[in-house]
Amino acid sequence: MPQTSRRKRVIEMLNRQVQRRKSLLAMMMLLDSDSSSSSSSSDDHFDDSSSSRSARDAVIFMAAVNSLQEKKLEFARKSRYTFRLGYRKLDEDDVFIRDLNTGNDNERPWLTADEFKQKYRMSREALLVIAERIKDDDVFKNKRGPSQMNPTHQLMVLLDYLGTAGSGANNPKQRAYFHVGNGSVNNSRKRARDAVIHSLGKDFYHWPDENERKNISNCYKMEFNLPNCVGVMDGTLFPLAFQPETEDAADYHGRKFQWSLTCLVVSDQKRRIRWYITGYPGSAHDNRMLRRSPLKVRKEEYFTVYQYIIGDTAFDPSENVVPAYKANPNKAEPDDPDERLLNKVISKPRVSSEHVNGMWKGRFPWLRLIPNRVRDKKSLTEVMKYIHCTVILHNFLIEFGDQHIKSWESEEDRLSDIAEPANDPTDDMPGEEHMLYRGVPAGAPKDWRRATVREYLREHHATFELERNARQDDSSDDEGEDLSAVATEFENYFSRLNNN
Q: What is the pLDDT of residues 204-219, one digit of tens each?
A: 999 999 999 999 999 9
Mean pLDDT computed over every residue of the chain: 80
Residues 169-197 have pLDDT tens digits of: 788 888 888 888 878 889 999 999 999 99
SS3 222: helix
Ranking 51-55, 85-89, 223-227 by mean pLDDT, the lowest is 85-89
Tell me, what's the pLDDT at 38?
57
Q: Is 179 left (phi over 0), alpha (psi -120 to 50) or beta?
A: left
> Rounded CA gap, 221 and 244, in Å?
44
Task: With H, G, I as helix, E, B as strand and everything else as coil, classify residue 247.
Answer: coil
Looking at residues 385-398, what average pLDDT do you find?
Answer: 96
Degrees (nearest 5) of the Cα angle 14, 16, 21?
A: 95
Question: 75-78: which pairs have CB atoms within 8 A and are 24 or more residues apart?
Answer: 76/7, 76/10, 76/11, 76/14, 77/11
Amino acid residing at 42: S
What integer pLDDT is reported at residue 53 of this predicted model? 59
One-letter identity of residue 431: G
Q: How confident is the model at residue 159 (pLDDT cuts 50, 70, 90)?
A: very high
- Average pLDDT on 394-422 reads 64
Looking at the chain, the whole-number percentage of residues with pLDDT higher than 70 is 75
Q: In 107-227, which ranges are continuous DSSP H helix?
A: 113-120, 124-134, 151-162, 171-178, 182-204, 210-224
Mean of pLDDT values over 270-292: 92
CA atoms of 393 and 130, how far apart (whole Å):
9
Instruction: Give CA separation, 263 vs 260, 279, 420, in Å.
Output: 10, 7, 28
Calpha distance 342→324 (Å, rounded): 7
Triad 50, 56, 58: Cα angle to 5°: 105
pLDDT at position 6: 72
Please name the residues in contact with 232: beta carbons below 8 A apart, sequence gap of 6 or more.
Answer: 266, 267, 268, 309, 310, 311, 349, 350, 352, 353
Confidence grade of residue 477 (pLDDT, cut at 50, 70, 90): low
pLDDT band for 383, please (50, 70, 90 cuts). Answer: very high
80 band by pLDDT with thresholds 50, 70 and 90: low
Q: What is the pLDDT of residue 59?
A: 65
